[in-house]
Amino acid sequence: MHIIPIASGKGGVGKSLIAANLSIALGQAGKRVCLADLDLGGSNLHMILGTPSPSRGIGTYLSTPNSSFEEIVGETDYENLSFIPGDAEIPGIANLQAGQRNKIIRKLIGLQADYLVLDLGAGTNFNILDFFLISNKGIIITTPTPTATVNAYLFLKNVAFRQITAAVKKDSATADFLDRLKRDGTALQRVYIPKLLEHIKAADPGTYAAYLGRASRFHPRLILNMLENPDDTEKANKLRRSCQQYLDIDMEHLGVIYRDDLQDTALRSRLPIILYKPQSVLAQAIYRIADKIIQSGDSAEDEDVDVLVDLDESYQNAEAEASADFAAKLGYLEELMQAGALSMGDLIETVKTQQLEINHLKKENRLLKSKILKSIP
């Protein structure tokens, strides 16, 4: 079974939307898919799927003694897709104990499916990091905004740190050293991972080798969501370079998805966009990503993706797709104009709103720049 955790540093970047539509696309391609809502405390995946409010989910499973996990795995109206709801309404569910987390992980791994898609919450608590690390090829989603890309980077930094702590033997000197770092929040922020690894390599070669064994197989995959124009793809290149340089992590680019206003209409109609408008730029981008996953997915989980996927090429492909989708989006506007569905007035209104948004973003950008400059001693 291929496990695909979907994570992000920042909330609201499209994890649930992509998890739901991607799962449906994989199901349509004939794969048996199980989708789990692991955004415990913020579960809303059933709404995007358009299924009725679930009565049982992971929360009820954990809080009901002697309940069986199989009971909460429900069928959906979609081809080959089963669904495990999250339960947002059980207090404290977002703060799982390590034992509860491991219990869920064991149950998830034991499921019978071709693909297990995990919709995670935003942030970097241990639950989220460990759910993400069930796979070596988890998906990280970001939008092109500076806050989202910085948070994506910080998420991966936390993942790297978690991998290091997982490799360290309990009660060793290195474990003590890492514990001290962890307790001092600002020290962790300042930690330079390559330096930390150098320290561990010298002090504790066994741990270092254990870490390296795992880290060399770890290639998270990136999706850049809510693009406005093709230039936004540069944000993915930048994020990749930071991760290579400071975290020794290299990501594959799984593809870009433009912001698509049809998504709001789809949501109101309670239908996933992939069914509501399969021809939309958004749905097509999801199908393209599903294809890439299926193509690469036939390799075993622990095989080195470097050999199978040319990572540089994945970024070049994403850039080409961004240009092509942009042209498709414009072509679509043209069609709407010609069909009379979009008036000159609508078009002018759209351009005006976009101009306002651009001005707003420029302002935000200036503000962030001045903040950064001020924070440099």
Ligand X SMILES: Nc1ncnc2c1ncn2[C@@H]1O[C@H](COP(=O)(O)OP(=O)(O)O)[C@@H](O)[C@H]1O
Please spell the DSSP secondary structure of 41-76, one letter per residue.
Answer: TS--HHHHHTPPPPS--HHHHHHSTT--GGGG-EE-
CB of 165 to ligand X, least distance (A): 26
- C-beta separation of 75 from 82 below 8 A: yes
Nearer to ligand X, 15 or 288 (CB): 15
Nearer to ligand X, 12 or 194 (CB): 12
Nearer to Mg ion, 178 or 222 (CB): 222
Nearer to ligand X, 204 or 325 (CB): 325
Alpha-carbon span 79 to 274, nearest angstrom? 13
CB of 272 to ligand X, least distance (A): 10
CB of 122 to Mg ion, least distance (A): 8
Nearer to Mg ion, 16 or 142 (CB): 16
- Strands (E) in 112-201, as ranges, are 115-120, 139-142
Alpha-carbon span 337 to 335, nearest angstrom? 5
CB of 263 to ligand X, least distance (A): 4
- C-beta separation of 118 from 4 below 8 A: yes
Phi, psi of 45, rounded to the nearest 5 degrees: -65, -35
Task: Give which of Mg ion, ligand X, none residue 80 binds (C-beta under 5 to 8 Å, depending on kind).
Answer: none
Nearer to Mg ion, 83 or 326 (CB): 83
Question: 307: burial class by Cβ within 10 Å (0-12, 13-18, 19+)?
Answer: exposed
Q: Look at the block and give the residue holding tokens 């999250």.
A: 86
H/E element holding 38?
strand 33-38
Binding site for Mg ion (CB under 5 A): 15-16, 39
Task: Give which of ligand X, Mg ion, none residue 8 binds (C-beta under 5 to 8 Å, depending on kind).
Answer: ligand X
CB of 13 to ligand X, least distance (A): 4
Task: Give which of Mg ion, ligand X, none residue 226 binds (C-beta under 5 to 8 Å, depending on kind).
Answer: ligand X
Residue nearest to Mg ion (CB): 16
CB of 43 to Mg ion, least distance (A): 8
Task: Give which of ligand X, Mg ion, none residue 325 binds (C-beta under 5 to 8 Å, depending on kind).
Answer: none
Cα angle vertex 315, ends 312, 319, to 5°? 140
Task: Give which of Mg ion, ligand X, none residue 263 binds (C-beta under 5 to 8 Å, depending on kind).
Answer: ligand X
Instruction: State how far the alpha carbon of 143 is from the alpha carbons of 64, 85, 166, 299, 316, in Å.
Output: 38, 26, 30, 29, 18
Question: For 217-239, b where at least 16 C-beta lie within 10 A, e where not — what string?
Answer: ebbbbbbbbbbeebebbebbeeb
Task: Give which of ligand X, Mg ion, none residue 260 binds (C-beta under 5 to 8 Å, depending on kind).
Answer: ligand X
CB of 156 to ligand X, least distance (A): 16
Binding site for ligand X (CB under 6 A): 8, 11-17, 225-226, 257, 259-260, 263, 267, 282
CB of 10 to ligand X, least distance (A): 8
Nearer to Mg ion, 39 or 252 (CB): 39
Amino acid at 98: A
Nearer to Mg ion, 39 or 232 (CB): 39
